[in-house]
Amino acid sequence: MTHSILVVEDEVKLAQFIELELKYEGYQVSVANDGLTGLTAARESHPDLVILDWMLPGISGLEICRRLRTTGDKVPIILLTAKDEVSDRVAGLDAGADDYVVKPFSVEELLARVRAHLRRNQEDDPNILQFSDLSLNRSTREVYRGNRLIELTAKEFDLLEYLLTHPRQVLTRDQILERVWGYDFMGDSNIIEVYVRYLRLKLEADGEKRLVQTVRGVGYVLRE
């Protein structure tokens, strides 16, 4: 799943450095160099996470945080701050930031925080089903294996969604047929084998390990 991250930082070189590092990790990145542009970008482009410098020309990072939270925006926000007084940290968290990183910071530390907050946010989203490196978004109907977007037909998607809602549970052929094709399905029940084969071809196109396993004489299970 490709996540989008907004970086609001007025030190142009630092902003570029963070942008490059995030892009290298596979994130989609946009950058704003002042407070107002940053606030507008956060409201209009709905990023999955915001990295926000505290001291910005125009509107401060703290104020951006407050304004986003006032309008109910729950995007994870990591504050970058050169201030490292305890009271300043408390002010940042009071304003609605989820985390803060004190400058100068190591890029590994920032990336670790980014990963942690994106993961937490994703676990809270009931539209996203995950298993191993597989993720399926019910609202956008996008499926990813790691960072690879996988194109599925409607039935392949339904089949995978059903498996993902019952990880590690053996689903019988009858259960799959009823749930994915409907009670009144009159066709050949080999249809399941055919679709499982299509699904595996797509899920394993880059040589990834098999996740949809056959349970001989019974049905299928999503298992590593």
Q: Which window, 51-59, 118-126, 145-153, 215-223, contacts Ca ion (CB under 5 A)? A: 51-59
Contact status, residue 214 vs residue 220, Cβ threshold 8 Å = yes
Q: Residue 55's closest CA among 47, 44, 67, 63?
A: 63
Verify binding: residue 79, Ca ion, rule CB under 5 A.
no
Amino acid sitting at position 105: F
Nearest approach, Cβ of residue 83 and Ca ion (Å) = 11
Nearest residue to Ca ion, scored by beta-carbon proximity = 55
The 3-state DSSP class for residue 151 equals: coil
The reply to whether 55 sits near Ca ion by the rule CB under 5 A is yes
Nearest distance, CB of residue 18 and Ca ion, angstroms: 12
Minimal distance, residue 115 CB to Ca ion, in Å: 24
Helical H segments across the chain, by residue range? 12-24, 35-45, 61-70, 86-94, 107-123, 154-164, 173-176, 191-203
| Binding letters toward Ca ion, positions 119-158, x by CB under 5 A | ----------------------------------------
Backbone dihedral angles phi then psi of residue 144, each to the nearest 5 degrees: -125, 140
Q: How many residues bind Ca ion (CB under 5 A)?
A: 3
Q: Given the complex with Ca ion, which of 10 and 98 has the nearer CB atom? A: 10
Least separation, in Å, of the C-beta of 4 and Ca ion? 22
Helix axes 154-164, 191-203, angle to 10 degrees: 80
Site string for Ca ion, 8-27 (x = CB under 5 A): --x-----------------
